[in-house]
Amino acid sequence: MSQDGRQRVVIEAITPQLELGRFAIKRVAGDRIRVEADVFSDGHDELSVRLLWRAEEGTRATAEPMQPHQHGNDRWAGSFTVGRPGRYLYTVEGWVDRFRSWARDLRRRVEAGQDLAVDLQIGAELVAAAEARAGGRTAAAGGGATPERDAAMLAEAAASLADPSTSQEERTRAALDPILIELMERYPDRAHATVAEPELPVVVDRERARFSGWYELFPRSTSPDPERHGTFRDVIARLPHVADMGFDILYLPPIHPIGRAFRKGPNNSLTPGPRDPGVPWAIGGEAGGHTALHPEMGTMEDFRALVAAAADHGLELALDIAFQASPDHPWAAEHPEWFRSRPDGTIQYAENPPKKYQDIYPFDFESDGWRELWEALHSVMAFWIDEGVRVFRVDNPHTKPFGFWEWAIGRLKADHPELIFLAEAFTRPKVMYRLAKLGFTQSYTYFTWRTTKEEFTEYLTELTATEVSEFFRPNFWPNTPDILHETLQLGGRPMFEARVVLAATLAANYGIYGPAYELLEATPREPGSEDYLDSEKYQQRHWDLAQPDSLRPLLTRLNAIRRAHPALQTNERLRFHPIDDPQLLAYSKQTEDGSDIVLTVVNLDARAGHAGTLEVPLDLFGLDAEAPFEVQDLLTDETYLWQGARNRVELEPGRAQAHVFAVRRLRTESQFEAYG
C-alpha cells in the first residue's frame, strides 16, 4: 500500500491552474498570485493550510499560511509574490492541527466548567513535542528569535502545563496564552501532512510581456532616397520618429537575403523586373540563410549599431522568425531531406489554396531528419539572441509542430527568461490557445475582424474574464502588411482613429503596421481583398512621414495616455457598460485599488454622429450617487462635471470619434466650486 493512511487531509480544486499542471499560468515579475483550494478532512479537527512555492531550479520552498475563504465551505486562500522572470512552482499543504484542535476544545471545556486535569496533560505532551521539533531546528524562527530560545520557552510551557502544583486556572491561562499559540504555529507537527501533487507551474515574464506598443516598418523603405534600398543606418535615423510617438518595440520583417527563384513582383505578380526586391519572407540566397543579413541592408556591425541605438531611444528591436526557405536557401541544397518532394522530383512550395507561394518552401517536419531540423531552427533563434535580440515575432507558428515550439521556447527561455515571443497565428481559437500554453508570450488575435458592440463585448470577455486570461496575452493590431480590413478601406480617417483607440485601450499590448497606418493607407489591391495595393511585401515604398494629415499626433497622445495610466497597462478589470446606442461602445479599466480609472467611449460608425446615455457604474468606481465627479477627456484635455449614474455622451466623425476619460472624485468643496 503506497498511501499513508495517516494523511487525512484532502486538497482539491486548486486555482489557478491549467490542465492539472500540464501547462503554466502566466504572470509578470512582482505580481502577487492569489491561490485558492478546497481543503478538508474527516471528523471535526482543526486544520492548518499553507501555500508553498519555489523557483523551479531550486529545492527549498517558501511557505505562507492560507486562511479560510470569506465564503467558507472548506475553501482556503493565500497569495505569494513572484520575483524575477523565470519558472516557479507552487502547491498547497494541509494537515490536521492537533494543538489547534486541542486549544479549541479546551476553551469549550472551560466554558462548560469541566475538569481539565487530563486535557492539560495532553497539552503538555503536545508542547513538549514542539520543543523537540524546535530543538531539532526543523523550522526557522522569525522576529529575531532563534530555535534554541523557542525550544527553551516551549520546555518551560510544557512543564507549567504538566505541573499539578499549579492551579488549573493558571495552567489554562498559560495554555491559551497568545505567545504559546504563536510558538506552536511556528513548529507545527506536519508528520502526516498532505501536499497536493503535482506542483503547479507559473511562467514569470518581464513587464513588457504584459504592456507594450509595437511599431512595424520595412527597413528597405526607410531610405530618404526613393531610388535607394534602405539600410540599418536608415532605420537608425528613423528611431527618433518611432520613439517620440511613445512606442516600445520596433518590429522588422525578415532582414535576411531574399531568393531570386520564383521571385514575386509588385502586387504579387509572377513576372518581377530585374530591380524588384522580392518578398522578405522568401528567405535565403547566395549571401546565406536565416543567420545572414540582406546585403543591401548593411553588415553585422550595422545591425549591432541598430540594436544599441534602439536601446538608447528606449526601444527594443523585434525580429521576425519565419521558418521557411526560398528555393535559393543554402539548406535547400545542403539538406534536401528537410523539404517535401513531389512525384516529379521538385520540392513542394507553400500553398494555402487558392493562394500559392511559389517563392517559399516549407520545411517537412515529418522527415527522417526532423531532429537535426529542430536543432538547426533552434540555433537560428539562439544566434540572434547572442546578437542582443530579446523579442521575436514568429510567422505562422501554427503551421509547425506544437512539440517543436514547446521544446524550443522552453529551452531558450531556460537560459533567457526575459525573451518575448509574439505568435502570428491567425488560425482557429484552440490552436491559438495551445500555442500560448506551449510558451508563446503574446499572440495576434481576431481583433481586426471584430466590428460591432456585441462582437467586442463577447470576444473581450472571453479573453479577459475566463481561464483564457491565465495563459493568453492578446496583442491587438488594427492592420498588418497582410491585412487591410474593409473597415479601414471604407471608413476613412474616422475609422482609423476609432480602430487605434480601441486597440490601445482595450488591450495592454497593441501594435500597428506603422507608416501605412500613420498615413491612412486604405486602397486594396482589388475589391474584396485585404491586401494593400502596391504592398511593401512585394516592393520598396517611400513614405512622406511629414504629411500634414498624418495620425502621428493621435498615436503620440494615445501612447502617452497609456504610459501615464496604470489602468491601461493590464487586461485585468476590463468592464463594458450600458449605453443606449448600438454604435457607441463604452468600457472601463481601473487599477486594483481604484486610484486610476479610465472610461472609454468609441463611436463605431465612421459616417455619422451618435449620442447616448451612458450608465456609469458608481459602485464599481467608488462614486457617491449624490456627489458630482469629474471626467477629463485625455485626448482633448476637456473636463466635464458629471453626477449620478446616467450621463449623456455625443461623438461625431471629424470632431471626436472617441472619448478616453480619466474619472476622478471631487474630494473638496473648492474642487466643486471651480466649476461654478
Listing DSSP states for 122-175 in one string gives HHHHHHHHHHHHHHTT-S---TT--HHHHHHHHHHHHHHHH-TTS-HHHHHHHH
Do 82 and 15 share a structural domain? yes
The predicted pLDDT at position 139 comes to: 44
Indicate if the pLDDT at residue 541 is higher than 70: yes
The predicted pLDDT at position 674 comes to: 55
Nearest to residue 185, comparing CAs of 144, 136, 134, 146?
134
Among residues 514, 537, 569, the one where a domain terminates is 569
The predicted pLDDT at position 668 comes to: 56
Do 124 and 54 share a structural domain? no
Exactly one of 119, 205, 328, 395 is catalytic; which is it? 395
Among residues 205, 238, 258, the one where a domain terminates is 205
Do 596 and 492 share a structural domain? no
Indicate if the pLDDT at residue 670 is higher than 80: no
Of the listed ranges 275-279, 353-357, 474-478, 504-508, the one predicted with least confidence: 353-357
CA distance 55 to 202: 10
CATH code for the domain in which residue 161 is found:
1.20.58
In a domain, 338, yes or no: no
Indicate if the pLDDT at residue 105 is higher than 50: yes
174-180 long-range contacts (CB < 8 A, ≥24 apart) are: 175/103, 175/106, 175/120, 175/123, 176/103, 176/106, 176/107, 179/153, 180/127
The stretch 118-123 carries a mean pLDDT of 93
Tally of structural domains, the chain = 4
The stretch 327-355 carries a mean pLDDT of 89
Do 105 and 43 share a structural domain? no
Which tens digits make up the pLDDT trace of 411-440?
999 999 999 999 999 999 999 999 999 999
CA distance 583 to 581: 5
Contacting residues for 184 by C-beta, under 8 A, at least 6 apart: 99, 100, 126, 127, 130, 154
In single-letter form, the type of residue at position 561 comes to I
Please tell me the number of Cα atoms within 13 Å of 123 on its side-chain side: 31
Indicate if the pLDDT at residue 143 is higher than 70: no
Indicate if the pLDDT at residue 407 is higher than 60: yes
Q: Is the pTM of this model over 0.75?
A: yes
Which tens digits make up the pLDDT trace of 15-30?
999 999 999 999 999 9
Do 298 and 392 share a structural domain? yes
Percent of the chain with pLDDT strictly greater than 70: 97
The stretch 563-590 carries a mean pLDDT of 98
Which tens digits make up the pLDDT trace of 54-75?
999 887 999 999 999 988 899 9
In single-letter form, the type of residue at position 105 comes to D
Indicate if the pLDDT at residue 142 is higher than 80: no
CATH code for the domain in which residue 502 is found:
3.20.20.80
Between 675 and 90, name the one with better pLDDT.
90
Is 424 labeled as catalytic in the residue annotation?
A: yes
Do 471 and 379 share a structural domain? yes
CA distance 587 to 603: 12
Indicate if the pLDDT at residue 102 is higher than 70: yes
Average pLDDT taken over every residue of the chain: 95
Do 305 and 167 share a structural domain? no
In a domain, 331, yes or no: no
In a domain, 334, yes or no: no
CA distance 434 to 445: 14
What is the side-by-side strand order in the sheet with 639-643? 575-576, 584-590, 597-603, 658-665, 628-633, 639-643
Q: Is the peptide bond before 354 cis (omega within 30 degrees of 0)?
A: yes
The predicted pLDDT at position 150 comes to: 92
The residue segments making up the domain with residue 125 are 98-188
Q: How many helices (H) and strands (E) does the chain have?
A: 17, 30
Indicate if the pLDDT at residue 344 is higher than 90: no
Indicate if the pLDDT at residue 345 is higher than 70: yes
CA distance 14 to 80: 14
Indicate if the pLDDT at residue 144 is higher than 70: no
In a domain, 344, yes or no: no
Query: Given pLDDT bands bounded at 50, 70 and 90, which one contains residue 669?
Result: low
Do 269 and 384 share a structural domain? yes
Among residues 508, 537, 569, the one where a domain terminates is 569
Indicate if the pLDDT at residue 528 is higher than 70: yes
Q: For 666, which DSSP code?
A: -
Classify residue 18 by burial, with Cβ atoms within 10 Å: 0-12, 13-18, 19+: middle
Do 485 and 397 share a structural domain? yes
Please report which residue ranges of 543-668 form alpha helices under DSSP H. Answer: 552-564, 618-621
Backbone phi, psi, residue 88, to 5°: -125, 160
Is 580 labeled as catalytic in the residue annotation?
A: no
The stretch 577-597 carries a mean pLDDT of 97
Radius of gyration of the chain (CA): 31
The predicted pLDDT at position 141 comes to: 45
The stretch 233-239 carries a mean pLDDT of 98
Residue with grid cell 514542539, as numbered in its chain: 130
Q: For 524, which DSSP code?
A: B
Exactly one of 31, 234, 328, 424 is catalytic; which is it? 424
Do 579 and 434 share a structural domain? no
CA distance 365 to 398: 13
In a domain, 358, yes or no: no
Contact 106, 116 (CB under 8 A): yes
In a domain, 352, yes or no: no
Query: Given pLDDT bands bounded at 50, 70 and 90, which one contains residue 2?
Result: low
The predicted pLDDT at position 671 comes to: 53
CATH code for the domain in which residue 35 is found:
2.60.40.10
Q: List the Cα angle 560/561/566 in 5-degree steps.
A: 115
Conformational region of residue 274, where left means phi above 0, alpha means psi within -120 to 50, and beta covers everything else = alpha
Do 302 and 442 share a structural domain? yes
In a domain, 245, yes or no: yes
Backbone phi, psi, residue 101, to 5°: -65, -40
Indicate if the pLDDT at residue 138 is higher than 60: no
Do 483 and 528 share a structural domain? yes
The predicted pLDDT at position 192 comes to: 95
Query: Given pLDDT bands bounded at 50, 70 and 90, which one contains residue 137?
Result: low
Indicate if the pLDDT at residue 1 is higher than 80: no
Indicate if the pLDDT at residue 676 is higher than 60: no
Between 674 and 536, name the one with better pLDDT.
536
Q: For 367, which DSSP code?
A: S
